Structure 1
Amino acid sequence: MFHSSESGTATRVLCLGITESFGAAIHALNTTKLTDGVISRSKRMMLDTLGVGLIGSRTAVFNKALTYSQSFKSDEMSSVWGKSQITLPPPYAAFVNGIAVHSMDFDDTWHPATHPSGAVLPALLALAETLPSRPSGLDLLLAFNVGIEVQGRLMRFSREAFNIPERFHPPSVVGVMGSAAASAKLLALSPSECIHALAIAASSAGAPLANAATQTKPLHIGNAARRGLEAAQLAQMGLEGNPAILDIPSGFGVYYKDYSPSAMTVPASGDFKWMLEDQDIAFKRIPAHLGMHWVVDAALAARAKLENTARNFDPKQIRRVTLRVPPSKYVDCPLPSTEHQARHSFQFNASSALLDNKVTVSSFSEAQINRPALKELLSKVKVETPKDNQPSFDKMYCEVEIETDQGQSYAARCDTFYGHWRKPLSQEDLVDKFCVNASSVLCSEGVEGLIDVVGNMERVRECSILGSYLSKFQHILHHRANSIIYLVYWSFAHERRGGDQLVLLVHVALADALIHVFAAQLGDGRCGVGETGKLDSLVILLNPDGDLTARKHLGSDDR
């Protein structure tokens, strides 16, 4: 843009619009701008995201999305986390891996509220595997932080974004923009192409909060990762959008009631101030909506007070439980009937903590949700929303009060849970969380390899090495003792089943590995997988066409 001086001499004054400034900044940022603090925090985010994505690859919603995505093929294929024999076109790999990350609501949360990593890392890893010049670990760190930074700046265009959301799920709004920015950086797009990548991505933004607490919610992250990557690739091919998409109310402004954008500038020399340096990330200890961490910690503290006084804890002595929480309709679910509803229920998480003295991954199983003792306690829970309890992850609190049949009352309040950005997880606890999650799918070599690579990411020559560790699943003969395999086979009449059939009841984490192991042993045949509906197990049927002498019976010594 040109401005004239008072003397009439034409002087060129660079006055970029909002979108132009973002395009220029995405292009201009380089690895010299990365600080030690940003590198350290973003490596923690990457490790946690990989862990929750791996355990998420065992979920029903992930497997449905994977089955759908396998119908698409391309010349370029990228890894699916935890699946050694499966690759997908990069956008679909980003899609399913993003879904895995958010499938259990176990991924990181930022302020203003969004899940920043799940929309960015799956897109970058899918893209990195296909580039002719393989990006380094430092390249990955830069692109990742560009994607995080863009999300952070966009959320600060509105005060509405600082509160627990009411209309749109934030990752579907800013996540797709972060994915586009990160992918554009890894593709080394020009400033103009970066602008158009953002414009294209904006047309895929926005998902209604009504789909929270359903299987569709994880698709918000998967779609953000996929659509952002596609936007950058389309911009690279010359596709254009509105170059003022961030400047105008009818552009990105449609997602906020009080939209007030500001430019993003990168100094030619000196340091760049990253949002991540000032605002740390919250890492979850339980696979549920972030707000549940407050209510769980308060419930555990209230139970401890009761036990210290009464010397024992009997849920039947509870007459009433009162929860004092911020107003938020989509996490007020009195009687959840599915795991996704349970992950978004103050009442369920408080009751689970009171009954079991803990909340874990298994707390959200069908058996746990439907147990009579839990339903009885849920019927005694009342929710209050005090006026001073603000619906913001930075300001909210939760108080749990237990009243007994004897008229005694025990209350505890949580203002900041362990894992919140004000009380961050220690590195040891973050790594422990990763190990538990990743080892549900990977062998020890894969788990340790990922820890080593991510921990040294700034020195890694090719970041695509992550893919080799993400597919090192548990070997059938080296799984945990509690994953017992029962193997039985028999012959059916040819007119009924068309041949012999091998039937396995197996822990769900090993299902994929077993299909490949036994399919290889028995010859090429059709593999059918059906859910038993009991525990975390599957029934696998293998119908081999060839010689059946390769069958192996796994006795107790083989577990």
Structure 2
Amino acid sequence: MSVASPTPRQVGATAQLVDFIGRRDRRAEPATRAALRALTADTVGVAVAGLGTPAALLVRDWVEDQAPSGTGAPSGTAAVWGSASRLGPAAAALVNGTAAHALDWDDAAPSMAMHPAAVLLPTLFALAARRPVTGAELDAAYSVGSAVFRAVSEVLPHAVHYGRGWHNTSTTGRLAATAAGCRLLDLDGDVTAHALGIAASQASGSLANFGTMTKPMHAGLASRDAVMAVGLAHRGFTANPAQLEARGGFLDLFGDHDPRRTAALGERLEHWVTGWVDDYAIKAYPSCFATQRAIDAGLSLREELGAGVDRISRIEVTLEHGGTRPLRDTGPGNGLEAKFSLEYTLAVALLTGNVLLGDFTDEALERPGVAGLMARIELAERPPAEEPGHTVVRLHTGDGRLLVRDVHHSRGDSHRPLSPAELAAKFHQCVGRGPAKASWFDALHAVPDADEPRDLQTLLAGPPAHG
């Protein structure tokens, strides 16, 4: 009787993540550090502007209300970016993450719906309050988190996960930020496995809350929970060390668990650890990423058409399959909801020649001509088999003309990046102008280049208010 050779046991998803996070033999890549320079300055900038939004103000007020009675505001070691306040690392991650996502002007990944920097940087900078860090350590940790974000999203897969209504920034973001934190603090494999298990049990976040204050809080909660997961695991707190692939684990609950995809996880992680530099975008406009290409198309069409939007009879917009998922299917009722209305953002681009922060107030919705133009915009998705990743806008005029724009990369995409001057201009639109703010931008931009360990909290606090 012949005996079949035993089949090698497949390495589980959690073990593949742990092995990837713990590797120390990767060569530093100049491209990742260059991308992180821009993302650091941009994310801090939009967070400082976001601190003034109702969502961030209420979260910060709640955090400060947790201080023992009679002691005033809570104190800690981690900076609330752009302010003199210090909080505990988890609380700071919650506030800064919420603020970074509050204006929907933070980074995005063109390949999949996610906002990596708005979750990863609040986590890493909060954990960096525990000890000085080098630019190389931040670069390695950020790249690990970026890879985990994308590779786990592929394994779910993202289309299934997002299609069920999960906000990937919040769900997979917790795992990615936890992985980044474990790398930054150089935790061993057993501790890292437990940290991932803890984070997986905290995962949540629904697309139904897009257009409300809860949506930006998703990023803050993901950052806070990552800090918590890392801290608890470091102290010996346990979770299932094979949580992701276990029955009833992360992949079962949030995706369509396929062992064949899981088997390729390690390969995808190694791809994305440097490949993420070709898959990030710094938004030019303060609205949902799904609107960005259409806005670019609208601005280009306006140049050809001129300001005579009254000549437009109708506009057809087609997005990739699933491209409308984060967008509103009804008209916006307030400025926050307008960030998720492609019809509104395209109408503003055609009417005004730009899309700015001031276009997302409740009052801006009443601008003459906006509602009428929105009513002439038709939105649709292309079939699944057609090429993803681009938006087509067809503008029909009353005299029979057809003007078409097909946008593959929006302004700010890594394939069409903002210039240094444009990046600085966005930063100053967020934080204000003046010599002190210009110096702050330069210093933030240089954070990934620090050769010696440094304390980042004073830098993140920004110049004094009078500066």
What TM-score do the two structures reach when normalised by structure 2? 0.87
Tell me the amino acid that sits aligned with residue 252 of structure 1: F
* Structure 1 residue 212 corresponds to structure 2 residue 206: no
Tell me the amino acid that sits aligned with residue 107 of structure 2: D
Q: CA deviation at 1:386?
A: 5.2
Mapping 1:330-345, distance limit 5 Å: 330-345=326-341
Distance 1:345 1:276, change over 3 A: farther
Q: CA deviation at 1:391?
A: 9.5
Given that 1:21 and 1:263 are in contact with CA atoms closer than 8 Å, whether structure 2 keeps it comes out as no
Tell me, what secondary structure is at the counterpart of 1:261?
helix
Aligned counterparts of 1:16 and 1:51: Cα–Cα separation in 2: 41
Aligned counterparts of 2:123 and 2:129: Cα–Cα separation in 1: 10
- The aligned residue for residue 63 of structure 1 is 57
- The aligned residue for residue 342 of structure 2 is 346
Q: CA deviation at 1:158?
A: 3.5
Tell me, what secondary structure is at the counterpart of 2:280?
coil
- Size of the alignment, in residue pairs? 449
Aligned counterparts of 1:161 and 1:15: Cα–Cα separation in 2: 25
Q: CA deviation at 1:15?
A: 7.0
- The aligned residue for residue 101 of structure 1 is 100
Specify which of 443, 458, 464 is matched with residue 467 of structure 1: 458
Q: CA deviation at 1:430?
A: 2.7
TM-superposition CA deviations, 1:316-361 (whole Å, max 9, x none): 4444343334452541444212122111101101110111111111
- The aligned residue for residue 283 of structure 1 is 282
Given that 1:333 and 1:344 are in contact with CA atoms closer than 8 Å, whether structure 2 keeps it comes out as no
Aligned counterparts of 1:263 and 1:223: Cα–Cα separation in 2: 29
Mapping 1:143-162, distance limit 5 Å: 143-161=141-159
Distance 1:280 1:320, change over 3 A: closer
* Structure 1 residue 25 corresponds to structure 2 residue 24: no
Aligned counterparts of 1:211 and 1:391: Cα–Cα separation in 2: 29
Q: CA deviation at 1:264?
A: 5.8
Given that 1:79 and 1:93 are in contact with CA atoms closer than 8 Å, whether structure 2 keeps it comes out as yes
Aligned counterparts of 1:375 and 1:261: Cα–Cα separation in 2: 47
Aligned counterparts of 1:38 and 1:72: Cα–Cα separation in 2: 38
5+ residue gaps, structure 1: 267-271, 308-312, 479-559
5+ residue gaps, structure 2: 68-73
Q: CA deviation at 1:183?
A: 1.6
* Structure 1 residue 54 corresponds to structure 2 residue 48: yes
- The aligned residue for residue 411 of structure 2 is 418
Tell me the amino acid that sits aligned with residue 358 of structure 2: S
- The aligned residue for residue 221 of structure 1 is 219
Tell me the amino acid that sits aligned with residue 49 of structure 1: T
Aligned counterparts of 1:403 and 1:40: Cα–Cα separation in 2: 44
Mapping 1:464-543, distance limit 5 Å: 464-465=455-456, 467-475=458-466
Aligned counterparts of 2:385 and 2:238: Cα–Cα separation in 1: 41
* Structure 1 residue 303 corresponds to structure 2 residue 302: yes
Tell me the amino acid that sits aligned with residue 404 of structure 2: A
Given that 1:446 and 1:469 are in contact with CA atoms closer than 8 Å, whether structure 2 keeps it comes out as no
Distance 1:454 1:320, change over 3 A: closer
Distance 1:388 1:419, change over 3 A: farther
Aligned counterparts of 2:424 and 2:160: Cα–Cα separation in 1: 29
Q: What do you get for the CA RMSD once the two structures are aligned?
A: 3.0
Given that 1:302 and 1:410 are in contact with CA atoms closer than 8 Å, whether structure 2 keeps it comes out as no
298-307 or 170-179, larger mean C-alpha shift? 298-307
Aligned counterparts of 1:398 and 1:64: Cα–Cα separation in 2: 39
Given that 1:322 and 1:401 are in contact with CA atoms closer than 8 Å, whether structure 2 keeps it comes out as yes
- The aligned residue for residue 176 of structure 1 is 174
210-219 or 274-283, larger mean C-alpha shift? 274-283
Given that 2:89 and 2:127 are in contact with CA atoms closer than 8 Å, whether structure 1 keeps it comes out as yes
Tell me the amino acid that sits aligned with residue 395 of structure 2: E
Q: CA deviation at 1:474?
A: 4.1
Given that 1:453 and 1:466 are in contact with CA atoms closer than 8 Å, whether structure 2 keeps it comes out as no
Q: CA deviation at 1:14?
A: 10
Given that 1:301 and 1:412 are in contact with CA atoms closer than 8 Å, whether structure 2 keeps it comes out as no
Aligned counterparts of 1:403 and 1:164: Cα–Cα separation in 2: 36
Tell me the amino acid that sits aligned with residue 450 of structure 2: R
* Structure 1 residue 434 corresponds to structure 2 residue 433: no
Distance 1:162 1:37, change over 3 A: farther
Aligned counterparts of 1:411 and 1:385: Cα–Cα separation in 2: 18
- The aligned residue for residue 382 of structure 1 is 377
Aligned counterparts of 1:136 and 1:428: Cα–Cα separation in 2: 26
Given that 2:152 and 2:265 are in contact with CA atoms closer than 8 Å, whether structure 1 keeps it comes out as no
Higher relative contact order (CA 8 A, sep 6+): 2
Q: Which has the larger radius of gyration?
A: 1
* Structure 1 residue 366 corresponds to structure 2 residue 362: yes
What TM-score do the two structures reach when normalised by structure 1? 0.73
Tell me, what secondary structure is at the counterpart of 1:219?
helix
- The aligned residue for residue 445 of structure 1 is 436
TM-superposition CA deviations, 1:347-394 (whole Å, max 9, x none): 10111011111111111122211223322322x3231425348798x5
Distance 1:363 1:228, change over 3 A: same
Given that 1:299 and 1:400 are in contact with CA atoms closer than 8 Å, whether structure 2 keeps it comes out as no
- The aligned residue for residue 262 of structure 1 is 263
- The aligned residue for residue 113 of structure 2 is 113
Given that 1:297 and 1:414 are in contact with CA atoms closer than 8 Å, whether structure 2 keeps it comes out as no
Tell me the amino acid that sits aligned with residue 467 of structure 1: T
Given that 2:318 and 2:382 are in contact with CA atoms closer than 8 Å, whether structure 1 keeps it comes out as no
Given that 1:123 and 1:225 are in contact with CA atoms closer than 8 Å, whether structure 2 keeps it comes out as yes
Given that 1:113 and 1:163 are in contact with CA atoms closer than 8 Å, whether structure 2 keeps it comes out as no
Q: What is the identity percentage for the equivalent residue pairs of Structure 1 and Structure 2? A: 25
Aligned counterparts of 2:205 and 2:33: Cα–Cα separation in 1: 31
Distance 1:188 1:57, change over 3 A: same
Q: CA deviation at 1:167?
A: 1.4
* Structure 1 residue 409 corresponds to structure 2 residue 404: no
Q: CA deviation at 1:459?
A: 2.6
- The aligned residue for residue 448 of structure 2 is 457
Aligned counterparts of 1:373 and 1:193: Cα–Cα separation in 2: 58
Given that 1:27 and 1:188 are in contact with CA atoms closer than 8 Å, whether structure 2 keeps it comes out as yes
Distance 1:75 1:448, change over 3 A: closer
Given that 1:82 and 1:471 are in contact with CA atoms closer than 8 Å, whether structure 2 keeps it comes out as yes
